Structure 1
Amino acid sequence: MLAPPPPRYFAHRGGGTLAPENTLAGIRLAARLGYRAVEFDVMLSGSGTPVLIHDETLERTTNGSGAVATTDDAALFALDAGGEPPPRFAQAVRLCGEFGLLANVEVKPASGFERQTAQRVAAEVRADWLASPLLFSSFSRTALQVLQAEIPDLPRAWLLAALPDDWRAEARRLGVVALHLDLALVTPALVRECAGLGLAVRAYTLQTPALADYLFGIGVAGVFVDPLDRFLPQALADRSAIG
């Protein structure tokens, strides 16, 4: 029996723009709406715990201040990130497992913590093979190298906001299965070239369903979306196609 195709619509940062980003509430909302995949960001607290947060500082998404990398767990988990504390990585992945969601884990290290962040994420995955399908991505080549060495059987994607001259050789060296690209980079010719190299292309971050239709038409494998309600008919149709 053929494996079902992976979801094409990923709820960006958990709940897109409909819930506080990188929260369990956002993941629950995406699942309740009918999405089959979510994306969220992971970096290390000052205690070395992988947690869901996008920025290196706390001000924008919590009621705290200062750097995430210097805030210990006792202080971090006392903060309000939109009705709840910032979640631990393990909590988020287990919740995705409960809902049957594919979790795209963006390893997003604070500056200077690329290796440590990927190592800690890999260690938590190895500890109990957390109960959800996992796809890892990162802008950091170092983080991708660590994930390749530590958990080689799990798929990885390289996040890019610009195409470096050596992207083909680096994608091969890093062993990634996909490129997650800024919309501005995605062209029919590039998608065709990636397909020839065995690389899927996913695009971030979409605001309109018409653009998703165009991208799928040129062979893009998936899209990261913010206004989840605006894409809901397409996401539900995608869910039905997957079964």
Structure 2
Amino acid sequence: MHARVVALTAAAVLATAALLSPTSDARAGDVGKPTVVAHRGASAYAPENTLASIDKAARLGFSWVENDVQRTKDGELVVIHDDSLQRTTNVKQLFPGRAPWKVKDFTAAEIARLDAGSWYSPAYAGTRVPTLKQYMRRIEHNHEKLLLEIKNPQLYPGIEQQTLKLLGNQGWLDQSHLRRLMVQSFSADSIRTVHELRPAITTAYLGMPTVAQLHTYARFTDLVNPSYASLSKGYVSAVHAFDGPHGRPLGVFAWTVNDVAGARRVAGYGVDGIITNKPDVVRTALGSD
């Protein structure tokens, strides 16, 4: 992987990314504006990582959603952010003697009994923790696109292979679906594994490698997705100066941006995507209404 000529204009980078990126369809009719990704679904307006949350994103008019995948005690992939069930379910009430209520210590049947909506609002009482299979079927039904995060892979050996197998079984590894799919993780090893197993998948590293490290990351990841608070225009330009494993410039999706000022700031840096709990707020900030 080699550094692109630094003097390459930002306009040329954006044009190239729009033409070659698998996310270019997300910008159709809106060239030059970042892709807006609904974080854990439209999680400011419905309980995160639930079917209700991705349904809400669809109703708001957003096609890209993000989720988190972990594994139960008996090997089922489920969609939940924390490695503990305590924050977003009533597990403490249903299973009071099983602290610290880790996902990996509960069976899929036990997790299916949990209420994953009441913590957010009584209006969502009875909402369940979806399995990844249920989630993918709803994504397909809603004609949405997915930024899938492999969460805590160190807790779940082989979760990359298992996730890819499920995606394949659900028909998500054909050419048309690959344009609607990105896989990310905070673990560079996990993303490297995904790339090695399925090189056609668009991958993203969650974090901020040093500029000196970017040439290494560019061998196995297509995007570098840092916290927006740590970003600068110079860093975004440095990332764009490298070609990733699919021969296109590395992209940058910033997270988690929930206000107008933040959205406008990172858009000014030239990011390719913005991950947000409030996609409608970001859309308004970018003048996309």
Q: Which TM class, normalised by the smaller chain length?
A: 0.7 to 0.9
Partner amino acid, structure 2, of 1:64 = V
Q: Is the 8 A contact 1:69 1:110 kept in 2?
A: no
TM-score of the aligned structures, taking structure 2 as reference length: 0.74
* Cα distance in 1, alignment partners of residues 48 and 127 from structure 2: 11
Q: What is the deviation of 1:70?
A: 1.2
* Cα distance in 2, alignment partners of residues 229 and 192 from structure 1: 27
Could you say what secondary structure the match of 2:226 adopts?
strand
1:241 corresponds to which residue?
A: none
Partner amino acid, structure 1, of 2:146 = A
Matched, 1:74 2:125: no
Matched, 1:34 2:61: yes
| Structure 2 unaligned spans of 5+ | 1-18, 28-34, 93-100, 118-125, 243-248
The equivalent position to 2:165 in structure 1, one of 120, 123, 142, is 123
Deviates more, 1:2-11 or 1:190-199: 2-11
2:12 corresponds to which residue?
A: none
* Cα distance in 1, alignment partners of residues 134 and 285 from structure 2: 28
Larger Rg: 2
Q: What is the deviation of 1:187?
A: 0.7
Q: Is the 8 A contact 1:35 1:236 kept in 2?
A: no
Q: What is the deviation of 1:234?
A: 5.4
Matched, 1:134 2:161: no
Aligned pairs for 1:159-238 within 5 A? 159-160=206-207, 162-163=208-209, 167-173=213-219, 175-197=220-242, 198-233=249-284, 237=288
| Structure 1 unaligned spans of 5+ | 239-243
RMSD, aligned CA: 2.2
1:145 corresponds to which residue?
A: 192
Q: State the Cα deviation string for residues 97-131 of structure 1 (Å, max 9, x = none).
A: 22222110011025432x42212101111223238
Aligned pairs for 1:1-150 within 5 A? 4-7=24-27, 8-65=35-92, 66-82=101-117, 83-109=126-152, 111-113=154-156, 115-130=157-172, 132=177, 133-150=180-197
* Cα distance in 2, alignment partners of residues 93 and 235 from structure 1: 29
* Cα distance in 2, alignment partners of residues 186 and 211 from structure 1: 11
Classify 1:171/1:100 alpha carbon distance in 2 versus 1 (closer, same or farther; 3 Å). Answer: same
2:96 corresponds to which residue?
A: none
Partner amino acid, structure 1, of 2:131 = R
Aligned sequence identity (%): 29
Q: What is the deviation of 1:21?
A: 0.6
Q: Paired residues, what number?
A: 234
Q: State the Cα deviation string for residues 135-167 of structure 1 (Å, max 9, x = none).
A: 11000122212211222211000001x535763
Could you say what secondary structure the match of 1:6 adopts?
helix
Could you say what secondary structure the match of 1:30 adopts?
helix
